[in-house]
Amino acid sequence: MASVKSPADETPVIETEKLVVGFGDRVIIDELDLSVKRGEVLGVIGPSGSGKSVTLRAIIGLLPHRSGTVKVLGRDYQSLGRRERLETERRWGVLFQQGALFSSLTVLENVEFPMREHQSLPAKLRREIARLKIELVGLGPESHNLYPSELSGGMIKRAALARALALDPEILFLDEPTAGLDPIGASKFDELILTLRDALGLTVYMVTHDLDSLAAVTDRIAALGKGKLLMVGTLSDMLGADDPWLKEYFGGPRARHLTKAHT
């Protein structure tokens, strides 16, 4: 299990306090308190539409919040000036649901992109670093000059992960990283996340619906429901939860093997 050798300590690197996010007259996230410790992998689950992606986007500053605070690496992002924001953004990498690679750039150019934006490195060095990141995520050199439309789903995820790692982040945000992958591809991706976490000391915030991924990768799980935190705890805690949605989620036929392994 991931939790056995987790290097997590108690310092929160992501912290929301009474976070409220809404659109028009709809409140999507309602006074959410959530904290992620350094070095841990937190899985975020919840029914479709419960606000998992909205929370992620609010934490990384892509969505404004109405009230409450979001602190990442000890800084309240919303109160930062432009320069400090850019400095903070360099310290995290994001893997969006569909990969969000630039379709007009090759894999190599996509991975170089954040370095172009945030660093002033000589072109040769930038290219060399991009090659290393691509190798790190398990893509071969034959992928370098391919465009996103020429990649398989698994390759897109890996290329997007290489781009998320381009600036040597401390935190990795993953939005459904294994969605759309076949079970073998998904479990390889899980292994990759754990290897990277252990090798690079990353903190990982992972939104997922994937039960196997939750079991393989996470140290703790936060369950959202109707904009609130239903529960936070280990997989074993989740398997013993009283909440009706959690009972159904972890008690359903797809979760039976987890129940056998963890209770």
Ligand X SMILES: Nc1ncnc2c1ncn2[C@@H]1O[C@H](COP(=O)(O)OP(=O)(O)OP(=O)(O)O)[C@@H](O)[C@H]1O
Contacting positions for ligand X (CB under 6 A)? 23, 28, 46, 48-54
DSSP track, 172-183: EEEESTTTT--H
Indicate the residue among 49 and 64 with the shorter CB distance to ligand X. 49
Of 35 and 53, which CB lies nearer to ligand X in the complex structure?
A: 53
Q: Which is nearer to ligand X, 52 or 126 (CB)?
A: 52
Closest separation between CB of residue 23 and ligand X, Å? 4
Nearer to ligand X, 53 or 110 (CB): 53
Strands 171-175, 26-37: pairing kind: unpaired
In angstroms, give the least distance from the CB of 51 to ligand X: 4
The closest of 199, 201, 233 to 218, measured between CA atoms, is: 233
Q: Which is nearer to ligand X, 25 or 142 (CB)?
A: 25
By beta-carbon proximity to ligand X, the closer residue of 21 and 165 is 21
Minimum distance between the CB of residue 50 and ligand X, rounded to whole angstroms?
4
Question: In the 8-state DSSP scheme, what is residue 7?
Answer: -
3-state SS, 103-117, equals: CCCCHHHHHHHHHHH
Q: Which of 34, 14, 73 is nearest to 222 (CA)?
A: 34
Question: Sign of the CA dihedral 161, 167, 170, 173?
Answer: negative
- Tell me the closest approach of the beta carbon of residue 178 to ligand X, in angstroms: 13
Whole-number Å distance between alpha carbons of 148 and 166: 17
Nearest approach in angstroms of CB 232 to ligand X is: 16
44 vs 166 by CB, closer to ligand X: 44
Distance CA(159)–CA(133), nearest Å, equals 9
- As measured in angstroms, the least distance from the Cβ of 44 to ligand X is 9
Read off the DSSP letter of residue 253: G
Is residue 255 within 8 A of residue 211, CB to CB? The reply is yes
**Burial call 170-184: b when 16+ CB within 10 Å, e when fewer:** bbbbbbbbbbebeee
Tell me how far, at minimum, the Cβ of 49 lies from ligand X, in Å.
4
Contact, 165 vs 91, CB < 8 A? no
